[in-house]
A and B are shown apart, each in its own frame.
Chain A
Amino acid sequence: MAKIIVVTSGKGGVGKTTTSASFATGLAMRGHKTAVIDFDVGLRNLDLIMGVERRVVFDFVNVINGEATLKQALIKDKHLDKLHILAASQTRDKDALTTEGVEKVLNDLAQDFDFIVCDSPAGIERGAFLAMYFADEALVVTNPEVSSVRDSDRVLGILSSKARLAEKGETKVKEHLVLTRYNPARVAKGEMLSLEDVKEILAIPLLGVVPESSSVLTCSNSGVPVIREEGSDAGLAYQDLVARFLGDEVPHRFITEQKKGLFSKLFGAT
């Protein structure tokens, strides 16, 4: 049975899709059969960042509506045979997702896969709710700013009260904090919340800190998840994050300001 992981945040533009793409890719790189699903019906972003947008024939909604089989709609990654992508429909409206439909797709996928990563849309409405409803674990993506943290807090409240596991009352969704677009220099100047501030407010375990990095944009423009980019600090941060998720003990880095020129320090642990 696959483990279902939702990548969620409440707020838009914080790095959910970037994180979903790199996280799913990282799990596959470590040998786990992984499917990543775009729940952002109407916008369709994940396939672009994963570099498969020109191979989308059928999408998530087609499968839910019985217009295509899961096998037809799953796109196999060109580089990693353990990685599969289920794209969102660009043309449908948000009501195309139904609870029963999503549940059936997830159940079918769970037969074959180790991990199912659900890339949530922004907000707390239907699409976002369905992305998190069936989750076993959640990556809560947050930027170091007050509004983002507030929205993440809101999402954590929904996860702990309305997700399927919470409704059943046996266990709860395992929560992980992912702090992205972190800029230690701006934190030092007091322009952004610090890691400690965010940890204190949200009070959930930290999975990883991803620095603000220009390589994220260049990578997504060329359709390569940043985790595959050698030497990118954001890519390294995502590799660490995946390793931690799989149980490795990896120290956090990129959380303090780096002095220019100290190359060794950049790659050393902090």
Chain B
Amino acid sequence: MTRSRTALEIKGRMLSITRVRVLDADTAAIRAHLEQLAKQMPQAVKGMAVVIDSEFDADLPALLEAMRGVGMQPLAVSDGPLAASAKGLGLAVVSKDSGKTGNAAPEPAKTPPPQVASAAAASQRRPARIIAEPVRSGQQIYAEHGDLVLLNTVSPGAEVIADGCVHVYGKLAGRAIAGARGDETARIFCRKMEAELVAIAGIYAVSEQMKDSPRGAAAMAYLEQGRLRIEPHKI
């Protein structure tokens, strides 16, 4: 008797995994941060595949519960203090630098605790999503695996999200999130910056924190050594 079909097929497809580094062992602080993140970019957080990275022994069961609570899917921990408890909980343990993009920048001191840090290798890019209509208050637009190009205005109370870059050719008065799966090279461009919030790879600023940045002018937001910068866009 011969079997013509094999039981498994091994495919080389890459999965995008986000590395989450724990900077503070306080479970309440972690939960608060995750909830905020989920509110800011619900589409990105939901189902997000995650590797947990920690330099110290954190309460892993509580951490898992908090992550699953907002819809994340923790798959593994990086080798280190969490490895032992991870094995007990049936999680994989991956080597310290698997899946890191390039040489990881040293952890910035100023960013809020536990943050979504660099993503795993970006999976295959899709063509940009182009929206001609204004994005109105209460609307949310997400470009998965690619750039989002908005030809009109983004109103206050509207949210535009991309795994790649966000380009706004009108006024940006709502919330813009680029690199929603952790791509730290993603950027936000707009012709008129009046955003309520901008975020790149989980590092964000609300308008109150943007006092020194250009308002009402063309601007670009990007990460530099893990810090969010918003600068006038000059040519």
Contacts and interface: CB of A to CB of B under 8 A. Distances in A.
Interface of A: 150-151, 153-154, 156-158, 160-161, 200-201, 203
A9 to B, nearest CB: 13
B152 A203 contact: yes
What does DSSP make chain B's interface, helix, strand, loop or mixed?
Answer: loop
19 contacts: A150-B137, A150-B156, A150-B157, A151-B137, A153-B155, A153-B157, A154-B157, A157-B135, A157-B136, A157-B137, A157-B138, A157-B155, A157-B158, A160-B133, A200-B171, A201-B155, A201-B156, A203-B134, A203-B152
Interface range, B side = 10 to 19
A156 B153 CA distance: 13
A153 B138 CA distance: 9
What does DSSP make chain A's interface, helix, strand, loop or mixed?
Answer: helix
Given A153-B156, A201-B173, 8 more contacts: A150-B137, A150-B155, A150-B157, A157-B137, A157-B139, A157-B155, A158-B138, A201-B155
A201 B135 CA distance: 11
A173 to B, nearest CB: 12
B65 to A, nearest CB: 35
Contacts of A153: 136-137, 155-157
A158 B153 CA distance: 16
Contacts of B136: 153-154, 156-157, 160
Contacts of B156: 150, 153, 201
B138 A154 contact: yes
5 interchain residue pairs of minimum CB distance: A157-B136, A153-B137, A154-B137, A157-B139, A154-B138
Nearest to B192: A200
Contacts of A161: 139
Contacts of B134: 156, 203
B140 to A, nearest CB: 10
